[in-house]
Amino acid sequence: MSTIVVVPILVPLCAAIAGLLAAGRSALQRALSVAGAAAQLAVGVALLHTVHTRGIQVQQLGHWPAPFGITIVADLFSAIMVTLSGLVGLCVSLFALVDIGPERERFAFHPLLHFLLMGVAGAFLTGDLFNLFVWFELIIMTSFVLLALGGERPQIEGAVKYLTLNFIASGLFLTALGILYGQFGTLNMADLAIRLDSQPSGVGLSSAMLMLVAFGIKAGVFPLFFWLPDSYHTPPAAVTALFAGLLTKVGVYAMIRVLTLVFTADLLVLAPLIVTASLLTMVTGVLGAAAQSDIRRLLAFHIISQIGYMTLGLGLRTEAALAASVFYIVHNVIAKTNLFFVAGAIRHIRGTSELRELGGLYRDEPRLAALFLIPALALAGIPPLSGFIAKFTLVKAALTADAFLPAAVALGVGMLTLYSMTKIWAEAFWKAAPADADGGTRAPVPIVMLLPIIALTTLTVLLGVLPGTLLDLASGAAMQLLDRRQYLDAVLGTAR
C-alpha cells in the first residue's frame, strides 16, 4: 500500500474546498489557488520520483483487495501525466491572475480549476474503468462551466457543442462498461485484462471499439474532432490553455492505457485503424490550421493535428513508438499551453487575436516575440527544441517498424506546421500594424503573464538540449505499458 498515490487527488480537492470557503475574498482565493497548484506540482514530482525509484505504487481504498474495492495505481506513464497536470495547473493559476476578471472569479473560477485538476488526476490514477467514467464526468461538468463562464454568445455556443459531443462519448463508454460487466462481472482493469485473456470473445472487440470511439471524441481524433475548434477558442486564454494542455490528453491517455492493458489482443486488430485515423488527424488538423485567420482558432486546429502524432505510437505497437508518444505528449502539453498563453497575452495588450488586425508586435513587444518563436518552432519540430526530439524519435520508430507512409506524413505535417507558425509570425509580429487598427492599449505584457510563458519556454529548450532524463522515463513507461506483468502483480498481488 502507498498513500502517496492518493495525494494528487486530495490536494486539488482541498484547494477547491478552501477556495469555496474563501468566496467573496478575491485576494485570498487567488493565493489559495496558486498555493494549491504549486502543491499539486510538488506532489506530482514526488510521485514520479517514488514510482521511478520504487516501482508501481498501489493504494486499495478501504483496504478492500482488488478487484473488489477501489484501486488507485500509479505507474511511470500515469505519474508523468500527473506531474504534467500539476505543471499546467500552476502555470494557468498564475496566468489567470491577470487574464481572469472579477466577474468570473465571483462565479468560482479558482475552485472550478482545482475540481478540474482533481478529475484529471483521478483519471490518470484510477485502476478501475467505472471510476474512469466517474472522473470523466467530473471533468465534463467542471470544464463545461469553465467554458461557459462569462455567458458570452460564442462561449455558450461552443459549450453546448462541447457538452453534447462529450455526452455522446460518455454514453458510448458507459455502454461498453455495461457489456463488459455483464459478461465478466468486473471492471477492475487488471482483473479484466486477465479474464479477457482466458475467455477471448467478440465482447472484448466490440467493447474496445466503443471505447476507441468514446476516447477518440474526447481526444479530438479524426473524424470526431469537429467540435473542438468551435469550442476551445471561445473562453479566456487561461481556460483555453488549460483545455489545450490537458483535456484532449486525458482522452489520449485513456486510449493508450485501456488498449495496452485490457484489450491487448484486440489492439492487433485495431492497430491499422488507429494508424489511419492518426494520419488523417494530422493532415486534416494542419490543413484546417493553415486556413485560419484568428490565432486561437489556428492553434485549436493544431491541437487536433498534434493528437495524431500521439496516437500514432499506439498504432505502431512497438516499445520505441510508445516511448516516442509519451515524449511527444510531454512536449506538446508544454508547447501548446505556452502558445495559448502567448495568444492570450497578445489579446490582452491589443484586444484582438485576428491576424489581419495585428502587426508590429516584434517592435512593441520583443520579449513576447522571442517567447512565441521558441514554442512555435518546437511545435514544428525545429532543432534543438523539444519538438525535434519528439518528432525524430517517432519518425525513427516508424521507419524501424517499416511504416514508411506514417513517417513521411509526420514529416510533411511538420513542414505545414512550420508554415502556420510562420503565418502568425509574419502577420502578428513582423508586419507593421494596420493603419486603421485600434491597436489596443499598447501597454506592456504584465510580468505575471510572462512568468509562466518564460517557465514553459525554458522547459521547451531544456527538453530539446537535455532530453536524456525524459527519454529514459518515456522508455520505462513504454516498457511497462507493453509488459503488463508489473502492473498486474502490483494491483492483484496474490489474488492473481
Mean residue pLDDT across the chain: 92
Is residue 2 pLDDT above 90, yes or no?
Answer: no
**Average confidence (pLDDT) over 296-307:** 92
SS3 59: strand
Rg (CA), the chain: 22
Q: Does position 229 have pLDDT exceeding 80, yes or no?
A: no
Task: Quote the CA–CA distance of 224 and 228 in Å, as a whole number.
Answer: 9
What is the distance between the alpha carbons of residues 391 and 381, in angstroms, rounded to a whole number? 6
CA distance 489 to 483: 11
- First-to-final CA distance of the chain: 17
User: Tens of pLDDT along 274-286?
Assistant: 999 999 999 999 9
pLDDT for 242: 93
Check pLDDT > 60 for residue 439: no
> Which grid coordinates belong to 209?
471499439
Q: 77 or 296, which is more confident? A: 77
User: For position 495, what pLDDT does the model report?
Assistant: 46
Q: For 309-316, what is the mean pLDDT?
A: 96
How large a percentage of the chain has pLDDT more than 90?
A: 74
- pLDDT tens, position by position, 454-483: 999 999 999 999 999 999 999 999 999 999
Compute the half-sphere exposure of residue 15: CA atoms within 13 Å on the CB side of its CA. 32
- Please report which confidence band the pLDDT of residue 227 belongs to, taking 50, 70 and 90 as the band edges: confident
Return d(Cα 48, Cα 329) in angstroms, integer: 16
Q: Report the predicted TM-score, pTM, of the whole model to 2 decimal places.
A: 0.95
Q: Is the pLDDT of residue 441 over 50?
A: no
Q: What is the DSSP string of 79-128?
A: HHHHHHHHHHHHHHHHHHHHHS-HHHHHTTHHHHHHHHHHHHHHHHHB-B
Poorest-pLDDT segment among 34-38, 201-205, 418-422: 201-205
pLDDT at 494 over 60: no
Please report which confidence band the pLDDT of residue 437 belongs to, taking 50, 70 and 90 as the band edges: low
- pLDDT class for 97, splitting at 50, 70, 90? very high
- Residue 440: the pLDDT is 47
The residue length of the chain stands at 496
Summarised one tens digit per residue, pLDDT across range 139-166 is 999 998 998 877 677 778 777 888 888 8
φ and ψ of 95, to 5 deg:
-60, -35
Confidence of residue 436 (pLDDT cuts 50, 70, 90): low
pLDDT given at position 147: 86
Kindly indicate the confidence band of residue 393, based on its pLDDT and cuts at 50, 70 and 90: very high
Share of the chain above pLDDT 70, in %: 97
Mean pLDDT of 217-221: 91
Residue range 384-393: mean pLDDT, rounded = 96
Question: Rounded mean pLDDT of 427-452?
Answer: 78
Q: What per-residue confidence (pLDDT) applies to 18?
A: 96
Q: What's the CA angle centered on 465, arms 309 and 121, to 5 degrees?
A: 50
Cβ-Cβ contacts under 8 Å for 440 (sequence gap 6 or more): 349, 350, 351, 352
Residue 125 has pLDDT above 60, yes or no: yes
Within a 13 Å sphere around the CA of 479, how many CA atoms are in the beta-carbon half?
Answer: 11
pLDDT tens for each residue of 338-353 = 999 999 999 999 888 8
